[in-house]
Amino acid sequence: MLPRALSLSQRHMSHTIITQIIEQVNELPDDLQQQVLTFIASLRQEHLQTPSNAWDVLETLTGTVEAPADWSAEHDHYLYGTPKRQETDT
């Protein structure tokens, strides 16, 4: 069901897209239709978990990177190929 806040042209566009999706999915075998349904459910879940403020957005972008132990000191070497500033004990 479409939200009432949509304009007439937006509802028409949404209806057109929905119709195209249904036509395409109807042509798929059952197992692929199930995959489409699973994909749509995951998209919906991601949409519902959209961050609500800037801190939430930043938190989704944070993480760790697999890198050599001297990455922070020697990032120019790893990014641009410049000579290392310090020799490591290897």
The pLDDT assigned to 82 comes to 94
Using left for φ > 0, alpha for ψ between -120 and 50, and beta otherwise, residue 81 falls in: left
Dist CA 50 CA 56 (whole Å)? 9
Q: What tens-digit pLDDT sequence spans the chain (90 residues)?
A: 444 565 666 666 688 888 999 999 999 999 999 999 999 998 888 777 766 788 877 877 787 778 888 988 998 998 899 999 876 555
Q: Which amino acid is at 36?
A: V
Cβ neighbours of 68 (radius 10 Å): 12
The pLDDT assigned to 1 comes to 42
- Over its C-alpha atoms, the chain yields an Rg (Å, rounded) of 24
Dist CA 25 CA 32 (whole Å)? 8
The pLDDT assigned to 29 comes to 93
Residues 18, 2 contacting (CB under 8 angstroms) = no
